[in-house]
């Protein structure tokens, strides 16, 4: 998901694309910040200028090359809520709140984003259980979960303060049962085009913040 997100940013965000193609950006997956602190945190994706400007980097097609960032300009956590929505959504909410608080204390300029995949399948085979979980009132659960994600404190593109800079929610149907097909949900309760949690809005929020904070670097 994180690699696909990078490709979408290059396609849709001109300042980001310009810097990526000029070799000014590298990305890293599963990056740990504050490794020796109680605020230690593993982030799914970080992007920034290379730590060693002339370091050898390995590209993935037309996307941002893999490397070690010297400064975190963009940090994104990719979360999922596949089952046990009542418990999982509160955990994801706390995770994303903690993420932006920790990263903005380290560097107020960092753009912090979260992308959450929410499962709306009526049943799900968990790798942790033998039996298949049946989800009652799944549409209501997903609608409530989308609302909870939308209430996470937001920071404006131009603000170097607390709050998450971009958050998106993707709704899908995935049973994890062999033979069943997965599907993307675009109708309600999935975020509508133009809404705060829609994937296109999520990308645009990142692009706006990037343009303001790093567009002239």
Instruction: Report the alpha-carbon distance of residue 189 to residue 62 in Å, rounded.
Output: 34
Instruction: Report the alpha-carbon distance of residue 51 to residue 77 in Å, rounded.
Output: 21
Preceding peptide of 189 cis, ω within 30°:
yes
pLDDT band at residue 25 under the 50/70/90 scheme = very high
pLDDT band at residue 161 under the 50/70/90 scheme = low
Mean pLDDT, range 166-175, rounded to an integer:
97
Could you list the beta-strand ranges (E) of the chain. Answer: 26-33, 41-48, 74-81, 111-119, 123-124, 133-134, 166-173, 183-185
pLDDT band at residue 170 under the 50/70/90 scheme = very high
Q: 213 pLDDT exceeds 80?
A: yes
pLDDT, tens digit, for every residue of 61-80?
Answer: 456 888 999 999 999 999 99
pLDDT, tens digit, for every residue of 91-102?
Answer: 999 999 999 999
pLDDT band at residue 39 under the 50/70/90 scheme = confident
Q: Which residues contact 183 (CB under 8 A, 6 or more apart)?
A: 172, 173
Q: 153 pLDDT exceeds 70?
A: yes
């Amino acid at each position: 998901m994180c690699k696909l997100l990078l490709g979408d940013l290059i396609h849709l965000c001109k300042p980001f694309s310009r810097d990526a193609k000029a070799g000014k950006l590298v990305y890293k997956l599963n990056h740990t910040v504050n490794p020796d602190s109680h605020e230690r945190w593993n982030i799914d994706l970080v992007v920034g200028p290379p730590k060693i400007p002339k370091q050898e980097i390995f590209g993935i097609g037309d996307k941002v090359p893999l490397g070690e960032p010297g400064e975190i300009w963009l940090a994104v956590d990719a979360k999922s809520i596949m089952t046990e929505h009542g418990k999982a959504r509160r955990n994801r909410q706390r995770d994303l709140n903690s993420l932006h608080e920790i990263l903005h204390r380290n560097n107020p300029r960092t753009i912090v984003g979260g992308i959450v995949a929410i499962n709306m399948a009526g049943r799900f085979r968990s790798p942790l259980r033998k039996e298949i979980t049946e989800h009652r009132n799944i549409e209501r659960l997903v609608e409530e979960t989308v609302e909870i994600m939308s209430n996470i404190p937001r920071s404006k593109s131009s603000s170097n303060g607390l709050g998450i800079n971009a958050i998106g929610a993707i709704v899908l149907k995935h049973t994890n049962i062999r033979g069943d097909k997965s599907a993307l949900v675009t109708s309600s309760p999935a975020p509508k085009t133009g809404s705060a949690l829609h994937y296109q809005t999520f990308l645009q929020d990142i692009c706006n913040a990037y343009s303001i904070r790093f567009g002239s670097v």
